[in-house]
Structure 1
C-alpha cells in the first residue's frame, strides 16, 4: 500500500516540481559560471572595439562570444524558447559577418538587438 502511494502521488508531484524548476531557470542559467562563458561582457567589449575600429581584436572577441554562446545554449536549451536561441545565434553570426566586412553601423545595430534579446532571455 505504501509503495502504491509513493508511485501514484509522491513521485509524480516530485517530477512535476523538477520540470517546473528546469523550465523556470533560464534567467539563472544564462549567467556566467566560469571564465569561458561570459557572453554579455564579451559583447560589451566587442561594442567598444567596434566603436574604436579595432577589427583584429573584434574578430577574436566575436570568436570568443560564439564559443561562449555554445556553452550557454547547452545549459538553457530546456528553459528558453528555441526561437530565442536561434535569434541570438543569428545576431552573433551577423556580427561576425559585419566584422569581416568591417561594417561598424551594421554591427552596432546587431549589438543593440542582442542586448534586447539577452534582457528578455529567460523571462
Structure 2
C-alpha cells in the first residue's frame, strides 16, 4: 500500500482517537484522518467517500468489527482494513484471516513504531 493520505478510524474509544491523531500527525502531518465512534455513521460515510485505510476496532457496543466487515462486503465497499484490538486473542487473529479486505491486525494502543510501519508500507 503506497502513499497513505487518508485514514478512517472506527472505534468507540474517543481517547484512542485523540492518541492516534496526535501520534499520526506527528509522524506524517499531511495525513487526513477521519474518526467515527459510531460504526453506523462510518458505514454511511463509506458509501459515498473513500479512504486509503480503515482502522477498525473489533469490540464496539453497537456493532462488532466483524459485523462491520460483513456490512462492508454486503454493500460492496472495498477498502483496506486493519483490525484493532486491545488483546492478542488468537481466535480474533484467525477470524481476521477470513476477510479478504483485512490486511493486518494491530494491538491498541498503537505504538509509535507500529504507526511508522503502517504509514511507510
Instruction: For CA contacts below 8 A with separation 6 or more, give which structure has more relative contact order.
Output: 1
Structure with more of its chain in strand, by fraction = 2
Structure with more of its chain in helix, by fraction = 1
Q: TM-score with structure 1 length normalisation? A: 0.30
Q: TM-score with structure 2 length normalisation? A: 0.30
Higher-Rg structure is 1
